[in-house]
Amino acid sequence: MGPMSRVLSGIAPSGDFTLGNYLGALRHWVTFQDDHDAFYCVVDLHALTEPIEPAVLRANTFDAALNLLAVGLDPERCTIFAQSHVPEHPRLTWLLECIATDITHCGGPGAGQAMKIVNNMVLFQNVVALAEALALIKHAGIDPELAFEVLSKGSADSFALRNHGMKAMVKGVYPEKAFSSEYALKDIRYALRLAEEAGFFLHGADNAKETMKKAIRAGYGKEYFPVLAKVIAGRKKG
């Protein structure tokens, strides 16, 4: 049996945990303890983006750690830590601040996490569309590299096309230590949970979820998630 995939997630000590925190993330963290090399942290340094009394931050950080234990995280099966206790985090922040171009404040607590989920949801659906396009392109006898280059010059252009499409799907390169199908499935489920809380259904996201599940059943769970192109093309690992 090979090494387990590693997962790192964090939650800000912004006050009491909500039902959305539990349904969208925490209950999944509990299940990941058994089949992932799991690291979970209280991102107390992230809470410094707004003014807060040091004593309140310390209390919130302690409460957040207790809540993580209460939902079922087990220090014997995963690693739980406070972000500020790892000096490499602020050092990395300094490096990122030296190279970052834009930092956008999206709103109150949870807004950044929601935007990450939405961003990945849109990306996954774009990759499914590219996989379908690739299948049609090959059926039509058109060179895939040429076809994607043409798409990049028109209204179909996107980050997904230039990165996932041209660098992975056209070349058939899906490394196992990249963003895997299993991890992508986790993120798309977060989006569907948020939609369920809001009272509506995301047909495109659900289609992406089902395609990822097919990729995992076909043996591509550990590979870079654009490998779902093989499933759409009707290929199984073997």
**164-180 per-position pLDDT tens digit:** 999 999 999 999 878 99
Higher pLDDT, 53 or 211: 211
| Per-residue H/E/C for 201-237 | CCHHHHHHHHHHHHHHHHHHCCCEHHHHHHHHCCCCC
Rounded to whole angstroms, the Cα distance separating 61 from 64 reads: 5
Q: With 90 as the cut, is the pLDDT of residue 106 above it?
A: no
**Contact indicator for 134, 144 with CB cutoff of 8 Å:** yes
Amino acid at 216: I
pLDDT of residue 135: 95
User: In the predicted model, is pLDDT for residue 158 greater than 90?
Assistant: yes
- Tell me, what's the pLDDT at 49? 72
Residue 213 has phi, psi (to 5 degrees) of: -65, -40
Model pLDDT for residues 31-87, shown as the tens digit of each residue: 898 888 999 999 988 777 778 888 888 999 999 999 899 999 999 999 999 999 988
The DSSP element (H or E) to which 38 belongs, if any, is: strand 37-42
pTM assigned to the model: 0.63
How far separated are the first and last CA of the chain, in Å rounded? 18
Angle subtended at Cα 126 by Cα 210 and Cα 9, rounded to the nearest 5 degrees: 70
**Total length of the chain:** 238
Q: Given pLDDT bands bounded at 50, 70 and 90, which one contains residue 100?
A: low
Report the range of poorest mean pLDDT among 18-32, 121-135, 176-190: 18-32
